[in-house]
Amino acid sequence: MGSLIFAFLIAVFVGVRACLRTTVREQEEKYEVQGGPRRGRLNREQLLPKLFDGCYFYFLGSFKHHQKSDLVELVKAAGGQILVRQPKPDSDVTQTINTVAYHAESTSDQRFCTQYVIYDESSKFKPEKIRQGKVWMAPSSWLIDCLMSFQLLPVK
């Protein structure tokens, strides 16, 4: 995560320096960080759904590596919904949800997973199963990686 932030800051610095040198506003796209930032900008310009649109998140346990409150705010900003109760994978209600995740790979079964239980990998909790129907377990680092790349990445 730190290297992407560093690349972003360098791009901003180079862009601002070019504007000062030419005394004209330069095109921001020339200095844009490739990958997630560009995908996010294009997604917004095309008025497509936000990254986590249609996805629901439950945060399990305590978080040390990333603050839970920060993760919640990031999910909300990316269009995700926060669950107050842990979803039950075998629930009829859970399994009959027809929503698909817009930003998942179209050929992936992750497209039909819309409920994620997020945990801190430094905690004592280790999931026995990652995928249980439409409810998947994922570490908080997966959430951050998805945001950085602006795509729903496979859960490993």
User: Stretch 10-22: mean pLDDT, rounded?
Assistant: 63
Which residue has better confidence, 70 or 27? Answer: 70
Percent of the chain with pLDDT over 70: 74
Percent helix, strand, coil in the chain (nearest 5)?
A: 40, 10, 45
pTM as predicted:
0.76
Residue 68's pLDDT is 92
Predicted pLDDT at 2: 44
DSSP states along 114-128: -EEEEE-TTSS---S
Mean of pLDDT values over 3-28: 61
- Please say if the pLDDT value at position 4 is more than 60: no
Residue 7 has what pLDDT? 52
Tell me the one-letter amino acid at 154.
Answer: P
